[in-house]
Amino acid sequence: MSDITEILIRAERLHQLEKAEIVALLANRVDDAELFGVADRIRQRYVGDEVHLRGLIEFSNICKQNCLYCGLRRDNQDIKRYRLEPEAVIELAAKAKSYGYKTVVLQSGEDVYYTVERLQTVIYGIKDLGLALTLSLGEKTREEYRAYREAGADRYLLRIETTDRQVYDQLHPGMSLANRLRCLRDLRDLGYEVGTGIMVGLPGQSQESLAEDILFFKAIDADMIGLGPFIPNPATPLRAAAGGTFELALKVMAITRLLLPDSNIPATTAMETLNKQGRTIALQSGANVVMPNVTEGEYRQLYMLYPGKICINDTPAHCRQCIGGKIAAINRTIAQHAGFRSGKNLGQL
Ligand code: 5AD
Ligand code: SF4
Ligand code: FES
């Protein structure tokens, strides 16, 4: 039996891995199908064949931060900025509901126009629709997170991006890993379902640091873990960077499923950007969530984190139908409930 097979057998039973074992899986170039098969089996056993759809609303591309990799960074003068007013966001959420989504995800840059008061308006409006609500608004104070939670937000996504301090500091001028960790801790304390994640293939990121990232997801027992390849954006200082690969991002995702068997793991848009079948392959390698875009019109194009982003010329109705087809084609079903990690339902919140 190969070393890789042995590692996988143990991981499937115990959902634990040493750092060196994770590095061995990442470095391995021969038996990846075996890894993906084990991840798929664990996904099936713990979270079943249902795929949870989360309707993604990208409501503002204005950001005060300057992350080196991101097209929304404040120094990027090459994009037209937009923000939707609270009423328009609620309207999109209502449409998302009409397409059958049970959860909406509100995502934006760190846009100071969106004060607690304006967000409360949006959160109340969306909770009145009976939807589960995930926020992805970046770093805020504990008091702000508390206010959103009290207004009714259920979940919060904040990728750690990398746990490697040196890489983190290089990519995030004026930000700190310590504050990001503080945010994740506050979110957990406040009773959110907490999502995090990373980009794979960042400049300076090693296999060891990817292994540390995966162990971090396990250590904080993340409820959701979103991962994608880093895709260099020509409108950013990292335009000439090598970028990540679909294959490595998929491996990091599959190993994450080994360690967090009942977490919610999306098949991400960035994966499909690098591989036409990326989300389908991810759903068969450990993922159980998809986040179709429900943003409308030109805003889709303007929310340009990285180039080549899929669906920028498609409508929400088209994406809903498209993703439904992909899920049916692999004999999976679309969940008809909110899809909390531990099967909690909205009534309990
Ligand atoms: N390539 C891939 N993902 C990116 N993100 C931002 N910029 C890029 C890029 N160039 C991701 C970050 C962020 C999420 C919203 O988008 O991980 O958390
Ligand atoms: Fe702003 Fe987020 Fe982009 Fe950083 S990754 S520049 S915080 S939108
Ligand atoms: Fe948007 Fe397929 S999900 S076109």
Ligand closest to 322 (CA) is 3
* Ligand number, closest to the Cα atom of 310: 3
Is 319 part of any known ligand binding site?
no
Task: Measure 194 CA to ligand 2 centroid, in angstroms.
Answer: 18
Is 180 labeled as ligand-binding?
yes
Cα–Cα distance for residue pair 276/281, rounded to 1 Å: 10
Per-residue confidence (pLDDT) for residue 31, from 0 to 100: 78
**Residue to mutate (ligand 2; options 59, 70, 82, 309; most atoms within 8 A of CB):** 70
pLDDT at 30: 86
Rounded Cα gap, residues 219 and 234, in angstroms: 35
- According to DSSP, the residues that pair with 227 across neighbouring strands are 198
The predicted-structure confidence for 41-96, as pLDDT tens digits, reads as follows 999 999 999 999 999 999 999 999 999 999 999 999 999 999 999 999 999 999 99
**Nearest Cα residue to atom 1 of ligand 3:** 319
Task: Write down the pLDDT at residue 115.
Answer: 98
Torsion sign (Cα): 214, 219, 224, 230: negative
Domain 37-334 superfamily per CATH: Aldolase class I (3.20.20.70)
Cα separation, 110 vs 107, whole angstroms? 9
305 C-alpha vs ligand 1 centroid, how far in Å? 6
- Under 8 Å CB-to-CB from 132, ≥6 apart: which residues? 102, 103, 104, 154, 155, 338, 339, 340, 346
State how far the Cα of 226 lies from the Cα of 157, in Å rounded to an integer. Answer: 9
300-316 pLDDT tens trace: 999 999 999 999 999 99
- Could you state, in order of their start, the residue ranges of all structural domains in the chain? 37-334
Could you state, in chain order, the average pLDDT of each consecutive group of 10 residues for the chain (349 residues)? Answer: 94 98 95 95 98 98 98 97 98 98 98 98 98 98 98 98 98 98 98 98 98 98 98 98 98 98 98 98 98 96 97 96 98 96 52
Q: Is 322 annotated as a binding residue?
A: no
Query: What number does the ligand 3 atom closest to the CA of 292 have?
Result: 3
Q: At 228, phi and psi to the nearest 5?
A: -150, 165
Q: Residue 306 C-alpha to ligand 1 middle, in angstroms? A: 7
Confidence (pLDDT) at 343: 57
The answer to whether 67 is annotated as binding is yes
